[in-house]
Each structure stands twice: as C-alpha cells, then as structure tokens.
Structure 1
Amino acid sequence: MPASPTPVAPVRSLDEWVAENVELLQPDRVVWIDGSRAQLDALLHDMVEEGRIIRLNPEHRPYSFLARSDPDDVARVEARTFICSEREEDAGPTNNWREPEAMREELRGLFAGAMRGRTMYVLPFSMGPVGGALSRYGVQLTDSAYVVASMSIMTRVGDAVLERIRAGARWVPALHSVGAPLEPGDEDVAWPSNPVKYICHFPETREIVSFGSAYGGNAILAKKSFALRIASVMARDEGWLAEHMLLLRVTDPRGRRFHIAAAFPSACGKTNFAMLRSALPGWQVETLGDDIAWLAPGSDGRLRAINPEAGFFGVAPGTGPDTNPTAIDTLWGNTIFTNVALREDGDVWWEGLTKTPPAGLTDWRGEPWTPDAGRPAAHPNSRFTVAASQCPSIAPDWDDPNGVPIDAIIFGGRRATNVPLVVEARDWEHGVFLGATIASERTAAAEGELGELRRDPFAMLPFCGYNMADYMQHWLDVGTRLRRTGGVPGVYQVNWFRKDADGKWLWPGFGENGRVLAWIVERIAGEAPASDTPLGRIPAVGTIDYRAAGVGDADWQELFRVDAPALLAEADDTEAFLDRFGDKLPEAVRRQLAALRERLGAPRRAGKKAVA
C-alpha cells in the first residue's frame, strides 16, 4: 500500500490554522477533543441538560440518545455541494463547480463571526487505524456538539492523531459551522442551522468547508466529504481507489477465506448485504465495513482494502428483524439515533422495526403520532450512529491496518428489468463498463420499453471529487497495474430486484443472496461453471440451488432472460448519459458499449456455452 501521500500545496501549521479561524469565527471558547471517554461523556451529559438530545431509557437502550434535527436540515444538500477545482473541466459535468477564490471570498463573509456565543471544537481524526499505511488524517473545526459526538463514533479521534500531525503527518483541514451565532440575550435552539448552506471541497489544497447544516452527511466531514470526495482525488494522484463500497469476508465450508468489495447506490440493500446471514449451511459471512472502502495495490501485487471508518451511519427505516437482524442486534445500546420516533417507554421506533407501531408514539418532529396521522413517525432519512466494533458479525481483524486482499468486486443497482440476478464480467475492462453503467429504475417499464433510469456510476456519482470520466480512466489504469502483478480481482454485477410482468419479485433476497455470493466465490476459486450471454457470464445450469430458495424454474429463467430490444434501447440511454463526458470519456468504455450492441444485434440470440 502507498506508504505516504503525494505532496500537495503546503499547509500552514495546525496551530496557525486554528488561530486564524478563531479570529474569523469569534467563538466564546475553544475545546480540543482528546478522544477520552470522560470528555465524550461530559459532552453528552451537557447536551442532555441543554435539551439538545434525549437520553433513552437505559433499560431498553443503554447509553443511547435521540437527536431531532430542524425539519429543514434532514439530508445531504447535493444542490449546495461544490467541487471548487482550479479548472471547471476537472470537476466534470456531474458535479457542481465554483471558482475557488470566488467561493473562498463568499465563505469568508459567511464565516465571519459565525461562532459567536458558541464553542469551537478542534477535532483531530484519523480515517483508518492510526499509523496505518493507507490511513489519512484530518482536523475538523466545528461548533456542533452533535458532530463531535458523531465523529467520536465514526472515526478515531483525539490525542493519538494530534501527535502524528504535530510530528509532521499531512492532514486535511475541515472547517464547519452551523452558521447560527448567538448574541447576548439570544435564546438557543436544540438544533441550530442556517437556511444558507454550502458544502465545498477544494481538491488541489485538500480542504473542506461546510456551512449552515448540522446533518451528518453535510457536517460529519470525515465521511462523504473526506473519505470519498477529497480521498478520491488523493487516490487518483497516489494510485489507489477511494470507493463507496462495503467490505465483507466469506468463509466457505472448507475454511477458505475470500474478501469482497461491493458498491450499491442508495436503497439497493447495501447495509443488508454487508451484514448478510447466509441461508447456506456451512458458509459464514463477516462484516469488514458497510459504506466506504479504500483499496490500494499491496506489496504482494494484489488489491488490498481497509474500511477507513470506525462506525456505521445507517438509515433506520426499513431496518428490522426480518430485513437485517444483525443491524438490530448492533443497536442494543451506545447508539445515537437521529429523527426516529420516541416510544412512551423511552425507547425508539421507526417504520420497519415492527409490523405494528406501538401506541403513544412521538414522531421525529416531537409531535404526537398515530397510524392515522398520514405521515411517517420516523423521517425517511432518519439515522443511527453506532461503533462498528459493536456489530455481532464484525470480523475480529476488521481494523487491521494492512487491510484484506480483495478477491472480487461487485456492482449492484435496483433494476426491475434487463439486469440479471448475477453476471460475471469478461475482464477488468468489461468490469469497469459494468461499474460505469450502474443504474436504478425510477419508474416501471412497459414490455419492451425502458423505465426512467437514475444513473449512478460506481455508486459514486454524488461523491466523486473530480471528473467522472477521469475517474473511469483511473479505474482502467489501476487494472493495468494489477494485471502486471497478476492481482486483478474478478468483477461481478448483481440485481436482487428483478420483477416479473405482474410486478412480483423474482428473487427472495436477504439471506438467500448468500447463494449468489457462494457462486461468485466458487468462480473465484475456479470451481463453478458458467454460461456465456451477451451481458457476460452467468451461473451454468445446476450451479445454484434456486429451488431451495423457493424460486421456481420459470422465475429462475426470467431472472436471466436477455431481452435484446429492451437492452438495445438501454444501450441508447447509456450512450446519451456517457456523451455528457465528451472527449474525456475513455475509449475503452465506448468500445465496451459497441461490443455490447454487437452481441445483442446478432441474427439470433447467442447460445449459452459452458466456459471455464
């Protein structure tokens, strides 16, 4: 793995940076976060006393809390998220761009005096285990105690990181304010924020500036802002990958271990897959990470990966004993919940936790709620923040700084049509094409027609810190390097969501997805046969016991049916999307699209022949 980051523009010393921002933001006091349990406990105690969070009933959720946000501060604000690269073309057509100096000037005006009446917290943090070869450091300044508490779960914080920075380690400056100064006599609110919001990234200088929001994705700057947007630029420059991927380990009945990285857009079952309980006897799945992975070529020539985070920031609604029992077991205590409902007995509830809501709920806005209210009790984007180490399925070595060798990469979307249950890419270039064309359907498709697609290449569209076309080329370049050392992982695409003509799910999903995972592992081991199709290789007849999953023969065939007219229509839609990148689009991606059309345009559908 890369031993040190590529040098960038010199950064002033940490103390100088803090002093400059104290002068600009004018906080009442400055608190350095040391990472101790005592300091965090005191912070949470003060938040409860001030009415910012609610302590839950310890008989049900020990040492757990509920935060309620401002109703206008409940999700990432993508329209106010900017990549402020020196050149607009480096941001690309899928990012919002602002000229960096003009943006800095506007931000300076917003931040002037923004912390008056508040505390500035100085939060040194590490993405990845402190001292790891692929770990990177940052320092966030914030006036939100909620952010400090959340970052203390999601990252490694405190003096151990500060020592590294003071010893000369490079670090990413991350400045955040809720933008709600308090003048003498002003009454504070539980969740301060500002109607004006900016989340800005400066790739060349590796800086992040966020104003106006206290919501996790906008304010916990170690997560999407650092670990993906800025880290993707660092990875491009240093020869590795920063990805919106889960990590898991599969152990087969013979005790062989395999490691998988998988990218899924939102609402595609990513967390459920990361915490999979396989329906197959003798197969064990362990969690290494649920959201972000950093992958780098190791000294052995293989692609190795770490989970740079230390916690889970998951969506609560839809998480229940039937969909993700592991997540439910993880949330027994030591958890910060945001915008879920509160039960009469002091515990929490959200849609999907139980089939019937309990009586006497208070909704996420703090208002009484009944099933007749006509609105959800928990906000659809309500969250839980909990330490990864608390997950029952977490691998014992999940935070090994050396990471794990990646055997396969999986891409998935939410597709009712066209995309098979599982398909194996022919090679790395074909795998990059599969990743570049991930999509989910917004609307149902009529027979032979295409539903409206939401494109999300590599599940990174909102999170790539530079031009997505250059990002695709970087993937191709990483593959070229891995081929020289013989360490290229297999690439696969999965789709748990295909439906029949009546709109019925064809595959049961959840634990039964372990059968698909087992086939992938056996392909990696060179043991499972496959059949060739225009889309790639699929399981040969008899390799997956689908009947044991409750799937009939007709439905199994439908899961892999190749509808050439519909796929050719989708190829046109794909081309229109890729054309947005102009001449920057790698020729290899265009070549793969042309090859797909050629395979689909054959006089008759290609037969399925066994391949090794």
Structure 2
Amino acid sequence: MLELNKGADILATVGGITGLQEANDLLERVLDDANRRKLEPITNSDALIKIANAIRICEPDSVFINSGSEDDVQWIREHALLKGEEKKLAKPGHTIHFDLPQDQARLVNQTCYIINEEEKINSLAKSLLRQDAIDYVRQYVVGIMRGMTMMIGFYSRGPIGAEAAVPAIEMSSSAYVLHSAELLYRNCYDQFDSEARRATVFFTNLHSQGKNRPEDVPNARILMDRSWLTTFSTYCTYAGNTLLMKKGNHRFCVDYATYYKKEEQLSEHMFITGLNGPGGRKTFFAGAAPSGCGKTTTAMVGTDFIGDDLAQIWIAADGSIRAINPEKGIFGIVEDVNREGDPYLMDCLRGDGTEVIWSNVLIDDQGVPHWVGNGEPIPPRGINFQGEWFPGKTDANGKAVPMSHKNSRCTLRASAIANHNTVASEDPAGVPIKVFTYSGRDSDTMPPVWAARSMDEGVVIGASIVSQATATEVGVSGVRRQPWANAPFIPGSLADYMAAQFAFFNSAKISAAGRPVLAGLNYFLTHENRGGKGSGLLGEKQDVKAWLGWLERFANGDVTGIETPIGHLPRYEDLKELFAGIGKQYPRSLYDQQFSLYIDNIIHRIDLQAEAYGKEENTPARLFEIYRRQKAELTALKEAHGPIVTPEQLLS
C-alpha cells in the first residue's frame, strides 16, 4: 500500500525548516530582488517550505526562478553554454550535450525507492530505508551546490487542467536539465497554485550533478520518496536520471493511480498516436514497449502523433477512455532513425527551425551531428561520447567504438513534428483511446500482431511482455520479463498494480462504445527462429503501418480475426490489402512464417510467467486461470496439428 506523508519528510528533516514564516525569511535573505519578485505568484505554503529546505541543504551561491518567459528561458540556454553543459552546433537552435561515459543510461542499480520500515515494494525494484536515505542526503547532498546557481521551474505533467495532470517543481544546478524541461514540459509558473489545488498533490524534484566527475558516479543515486512525492538525484547528468519529472514522477503517478485512483486512472509507459481509417475515421492508440523496442517509431507512424513515451489515462464521464501525454516534447533515441523509417522526425533533425538538444552523438568538424543507422555517409572524423573518433577506432579492450552511443538522444518539442496533432495534444479533455498495444523484443515466440479475446486476456498480454535488455539501462543484460513495459516504474507490488489493471479495464464505467481492444505487437521475429536462414528480422519498419492498420479495422468492426488460444490473428487477405496500401507485396509464405503458432515456445513462455508470478504475494487468481486455459487450448492444438500450427490449420 501507499500512505502519503508517512515517515519523516527528508527535505524538512535535513533542511530543518518546518514553517512558512521561517521559509519566507530564508527566501528573503537568499533571493535577489528580481527573483524574489518572480517567486511572489507562488503562495502554496508546502511548495515554499520545500523550496526553502532545498536551498538550505544544497547551499547554492544564487537562485534563479524560471518564470517561463522568453527572457528566462534564453537565460537558461545561455547559462548552459556558459557552463559548458551544451555547445552550439552548425544549425541554429541545435546544441550538443555529452554525458560522462559512465552515465549515459538509467543507473538501474543506483535507483531506489525510499521506504518506511516494514513497507513492501515491487519485487523487481530496489529500496532504501528512510533513515538510510536521510543519512545519504546529509553526507552527499548538503552543500552540493556551493559555487553554483540553483534553477527552479514550475511545470505541469499534462495539459493544464486535465483530469490526470499533476504539477511539479524542478530544482537543479544543471542548466541542461532546465533547458530540457522547457522543451519537454508545460511551464505552469503562473498557474502552479491553482493546479496544485485542483490535483490536490504536486511533485518535488531536486537534482545536482555535483562537480560532474567520473569518480563521483559510483556515489550517484536516484532516490524516490513515494510517501512525500519527492525525488533526489545526485552526481549524474543523463536526462533519464536527472530530468526527474520524467520517469521519477511517472513512478509517483503509477503509485497514485494504483492506490488512490483505482478503477479511475492508469499511468502507463505508453505512446499515444492516432491513425486514419476508412472514410476519414480517426482511431487513437496507446501502446507499451520497453525503451529501445520501437515505441517512438510506432508512435510516429500515426497520422495524429500525440506522444512517444508516457500516458496518463482515465475513464471520462461519457464512458470513453481518455489519455493525455504528460510531456509536450520528445527525448528520443536516435540510433536507426532515418528517412525510411522516421521521415517526420528526420525533417526536424536535418531541417531548419527546430530547437534540438543532442546528446552523445558524433559531431563532425563542421558542427553537424551523426549517429549510427542514420542512412547517411559516415564522416572521416569527429568528437563523440568517448572523445576523438574515426572509423575503426577501438577501445582499450580492442572493441570497436561506435560512431554514437546506442542510447544517444535528441530532445525537441513534439509540435515541431509534421504529423503531431498539437491541438488534440494540448486539449485537457484528452483523446479517446480505442486500442491498447503491448510489445517487447521477442525473436522466437509471438506473432507480429494479435488481439485479445477479452479484457482479462488483454491485461494478461500486458503482464506477459518479455524483452531483451537495451542500451537504456546500465548494468543490465539478457532477456528479462517486462510486465506492461512499466515494471521498472511500478513502486508498489506487481500484484496490486495488476489488480488495478483488471479493475480498470473491466470497469462498468466504460461504455460499450468506449470498450477498447487490447493487443500484442512484436516486430522482432527473426528468420532463423521461423524456419528461415540468417538472423535478420522477419519484417521492416514500414510494416508497422500494416499491423496498426489491421488493429484499427478490427477495433472498428471492419474485419474479423482467426480465433486462437492467444487471441485473434489477422486473416491473410486483410493484411495483403493493407501491405498493398503501403506499396509492398505480402507473400503467403511470409504470412505463414509470421503467424504460425509455435506451440512449445508459447507454452514455455506461459510456464515462465506463471512461475515468476507465483512468487509474487497476492497475484490475482485471474492471471493463473487465463494461463491455465490458454495452455490447455494450446496443448489440444498441438495434439491435433503438431508443434507448429499454421493459420490455415487454425481456420480448418
């Protein structure tokens, strides 16, 4: 369970300020006249006390309040250049930021939830007792901003006024972090008080990179106090660890939805995109996939792109399921972004007029960024995340150094992308979600697309995601379970989160017209695992349009599927027509490779998941009932047709 405001508030315990008058006295002493005036619209006493304590703990030389005005945002841009956190590139509005080599992805093993005694959390997560967290803050955070400026911004995670939007405070000594925040979030400085009243909660985030030295990274921590909705990040600069409104605050939203908004809201690691169907119909999708598994590419395929990473979801009064993107920008992986698969994004990255912060890519001697998989000529030399680079360069172990880090990123406003529906994205009413998808990196088991037969089976699809570890996580390798692609961001027990999923999707508050389709996607089947030769993928990026196109038609009743124990599979004729629409032939032999059921692989997957969830306390019995039923049906299919069952055999 989650109990808010339980245990000692670490900011107040270490900072020592507990009352508004004492907070105001400190702010009066520390802020200069201009910044004192800028802080006047913030009257929320809890916010002012937290800000005052953060200042007392970190001891910055000065404090800059970011009102979101163009002058303030420009000051942040220039401060990032002055400090060397960013450097200008050839294209106006483009800058490069390099993280330390040891800090270029989520520091999974140094990320912890702060918990109270005897409090249980997600079995896949790390925890730190509250007293130990207090000790860490006292040892490492006190005085960490001496000689620096603390920058403070006020933001909304979602369109201002939206049902599931939550305001947040971001405090950091990094201008790069504040610059990124301005591209990724809605500045709500002048509406922070009213938004905090509406939402009844707000998030507090405190970050400092310290002196930004490799030797400090082992002491880096990303700590999330779920009781007090406060995050601490120290000794790191990678935005996934430092831009705490992203995954740090997403964790709080997951907690809040699970324990305080059950059957009302969900907070998911999902893209949101709309797709045009026959007759001008527009259908909105939300889809989960672990980082590095094609989520951004899938989102960009839509005709009405809303977001590529996170979704706040709720059941509206009319019985529809609505969603907003808590972000207004993209912090996207650039490896393999190219004209073929990502034309809209490439227009922003290679065209004029878009503000972009690049990280950990190669910069040539003309100030132009390059990255692996961009489909362009490789430059003869440049500077990248490990220093000077040239083709064929190797590290101390003789391993080839790639042109760009696998987790290289671009940060930009989503509204710059041609297919972004900015009006819908900024609408507090959200967009109506008709299809939910769940996918991972699965080379040998599940087909490219399948639709659940029921809401319960759809929840189980989400619960059963597996994926290869990607470059977004430091110190992680191999194939892992990735429930809902959200497991790294679920603070409470997986059992509680699963129960909330079952409750939400089976809610009587959802109207018949608002009932969604829940489906699985898998882009990563390989030839060698489907009776072919070579390790290449059994498909291309552009195939995503066909898979989503089939789901759009299935969700609206235009097509039917082939019923199987795992769900409905597309019929060949329907896919052939959709592939023709994207200018591709789709031979029957490829369809059979992709959509035959490899029974033993699927049963092994079910057994793996059932065993793992069997170790979780209080896992809903419904999950195991569905696994047993699917396994029995698959076993019967194998007895009738053998271990590999083709779509034709399923139809017969």
Q: Which residue of 2 aligns with 1:521?
A: 552
Distance apart, 1:90 and its partner CA: 3.2
Structure 1 residue ranges without an equivalent (≥5): 1-5, 181-188, 277-283, 444-450
Distance apart, 1:482 and its partner CA: 4.5
Distance apart, 1:326 and its partner CA: 1.6
Bigger mean CA offset, 427-436 vs 313-322: 313-322
Q: Report the Cα distance in structure 1 between the residues aligned to 2:412 and 2:630, rounded to whole angstroms.
A: 43
Structure 1 residues 517-557: Cα deviation after superposition (integer angstroms, max 9, x where no partner): 12111111112021111211111241211774333222211
Conserved? CA contact 1:426–1:536, under 8 Å: yes
What is the 5 A alignment of 1:562-601?
Answer: 562-581=597-616, 583-601=617-635
Conserved? CA contact 1:33–1:158, under 8 Å: no
Distance apart, 1:388 and its partner CA: 0.9
Q: Counterpart amino acid of 1:224? A: K
Q: Which residue of 1 aligns with 2:489?
A: 463
Q: Secondary structure at the match of 1:375?
A: coil
Q: Which residue of 2 aligns with 1:475?
A: 501
Q: Secondary structure at the match of 1:488?
A: coil
Structure 1 residues 333-389: Cα deviation after superposition (integer angstroms, max 9, x where no partner): 310011111112111111112343122322223314234453112111111110111
2:344 counterpart of 1:326: yes
Conserved? CA contact 1:535–1:596, under 8 Å: yes
Q: Report the Cα distance in structure 1 between the residues aligned to 2:215 and 2:306, rounded to whole angstroms.
A: 35
Q: Report the Cα distance in structure 2 between the residues aligned to 1:511 and 1:159, rounded to whole angstroms.
A: 41
Conserved? CA contact 1:137–1:161, under 8 Å: no
Conserved? CA contact 1:341–1:362, under 8 Å: yes
Distance 1:504 1:553, change over 3 A: farther
Q: Which residue of 2 aligns with 1:234?
A: 256
What is the 5 A alignment of 1:90-489?
Answer: 90-157=120-187, 159-164=189-194, 170-180=201-211, 194-226=217-249, 228-236=250-258, 237-238=260-261, 239-276=264-301, 285-331=303-349, 332=351, 333-373=354-394, 374-396=400-422, 397-441=424-468, 453-482=479-508, 485-486=511-512, 487-489=514-516
Conserved? CA contact 1:74–1:381, under 8 Å: yes
2:115 counterpart of 1:85: yes
Q: Which residue of 1 aligns with 2:95?
A: 65
Q: Secondary structure at the match of 1:544?
A: helix
Bigger mean CA offset, 84-93 vs 404-413: 84-93
Distance apart, 1:193 and its partner CA: 5.9
Distance apart, 1:570 and its partner CA: 2.2
Residue correspondences, number = 578
The answer to which structure has the higher helix fraction is: 2
Q: Report the Cα distance in structure 1 between the residues aligned to 2:300 and 2:169, rounded to whole angstroms.
A: 31
Q: Report the Cα distance in structure 2 between the residues aligned to 1:378 and 1:482, rounded to whole angstroms.
A: 49
Q: Secondary structure at the match of 1:90?
A: coil
Q: Which residue of 1 aligns with 2:525?
A: 498
Conserved? CA contact 2:173–2:209, under 8 Å: yes
Q: Secondary structure at the match of 2:534?
A: coil
Distance apart, 1:505 and its partner CA: 4.7
Q: Which residue of 1 aligns with 2:640?
A: 604
Distance apart, 1:91 and its partner CA: 0.9
Match of 1:23 among 49, 56, 59: 56
Distance 1:288 1:572, change over 3 A: same
Q: Report the Cα distance in structure 2 between the residues aligned to 1:596 and 1:249, rounded to whole angstroms.
A: 31
Q: Report the Cα distance in structure 1 between the residues aligned to 2:50 and 2:443, rounded to whole angstroms.
A: 51
Structure 1 residues 462-490: Cα deviation after superposition (integer angstroms, max 9, x where no partner): 11122122111110011221566333211
Q: Report the Cα distance in structure 2 between the residues aligned to 1:322 and 1:92, rounded to whole angstroms.
A: 40
Q: Secondary structure at the match of 2:115?
A: coil
Conserved? CA contact 1:65–1:335, under 8 Å: yes
Match of 2:76 among 14, 27, 43: 43
Q: Secondary structure at the match of 1:318?
A: coil
Conserved? CA contact 1:127–1:135, under 8 Å: yes
Q: Counterpart amino acid of 1:588? A: R
Bigger mean CA offset, 33-42 vs 586-595: 33-42
Structure 2 residue ranges without an equivalent (≥5): 10-44, 395-399, 471-476
Q: Which residue of 1 aligns with 2:29?
A: none
Bigger mean CA offset, 424-433 vs 570-579: 570-579
Distance apart, 1:393 and its partner CA: 1.0
2:87 counterpart of 1:54: yes
Q: Report the Cα distance in structure 2 between the residues aligned to 1:87 and 1:518, rounded to whole angstroms.
A: 50
Q: TM-score, normalised by structure 1?
A: 0.89
Q: Which residue of 2 aligns with 1:281?
A: none
2:34 counterpart of 1:9: no
Structure 1 residues 252-291: Cα deviation after superposition (integer angstroms, max 9, x where no partner): 2301111100111122211111111xxxxxxx62201110
Conserved? CA contact 1:178–1:193, under 8 Å: no
Conserved? CA contact 2:334–2:371, under 8 Å: yes
Q: CA RMSD in A?
A: 2.5
Distance apart, 1:192 and its partner CA: 10
Distance apart, 1:47 and its partner CA: 2.6
Q: Report the Cα distance in structure 1 between the residues aligned to 2:549 and 2:436, rounded to whole angstroms.
A: 14
Q: Counterpart amino acid of 2:628? A: A
Structure 1 residues 144-169: Cα deviation after superposition (integer angstroms, max 9, x where no partner): 11111111111112522444368786
Q: Report the Cα distance in structure 1 between the residues aligned to 2:197 and 2:214, rounded to whole angstroms.
A: 37
Q: Which residue of 1 aligns with 2:397?
A: none
Q: Report the Cα distance in structure 2 between the residues aligned to 1:482 and 1:364, rounded to whole angstroms.
A: 52
Q: Report the Cα distance in structure 1 between the residues aligned to 2:97 and 2:613, rounded to whole angstroms.
A: 41
Conserved? CA contact 2:155–2:185, under 8 Å: yes
Q: Report the Cα distance in structure 2 between the residues aligned to 1:470 and 1:604, rounded to whole angstroms.
A: 39
Q: Secondary structure at the match of 2:437?
A: strand
Q: Counterpart amino acid of 1:496? A: Y
Q: Report the Cα distance in structure 1 between the residues aligned to 2:324 and 2:510, rounded to whole angstroms.
A: 22
Q: Percent identity?
A: 26
Q: Counterpart amino acid of 2:640? A: R
Q: Counterpart amino acid of 2:556? A: A
Q: Which residue of 2 aligns with 1:185?
A: none
Distance 1:30 1:291, change over 3 A: same
